Amino acid sequence: MKQFELHRHYRQRDIAAFVLQTDAGVHISLFGGDRPHIGAVGVIDPEGGCAVTEFPTHREGVVCERWTAALAAAGHRPAVVEAGIHYDDLGKAGIQDVLALTDDLLAELLQALGTA
């Protein structure tokens, strides 16, 4: 088993991906901002099928969709991605900034897993 963390900072707060790579799967917890929480969960089955559940009033589903699609395409199956990033008063430009940071974290993750 391998465990590691990846981090980015935005508006003086951390966005962190906590990664647990087992012999038969990957589990990623992606949290950050002013109120880290669980807003969405994505699952990749052993055949590469992806399913994302986003909880009411949350918007992390798009992050889970991006991460599960990339992990499945890279052959990391099964896998789980849970995400909860919240910044107060973020606005549309801030949301785009956070999405760019999570995309950057995803690229670093794939490199760390040896698939980028």
Write out the DSSP string of 25-45. EEEEEEEEESS----EEEEE-
CB 38 within 8 A of CB 82: yes
Domain boundaries along the sequence of the chain: 2-112
Write out the DSSP string of 47-67. TS-EEEEE-TT--THHHHHHH
Collapsing DSSP to helix, strand or coil, 75 comes out as coil
Q: Mind listing the pLDDT tens digit for each residue in 28-83?
A: 999 999 999 999 999 999 999 999 999 999 999 999 999 999 999 999 999 999 99
Of 1.10.8.50, 3.90.76.10, 3.30.230.100, 3.40.50.1820, which CATH number belongs to 2-112? 3.30.230.100
Instruction: Give the predicted TM-score (pTM) of the model.
Output: 0.94
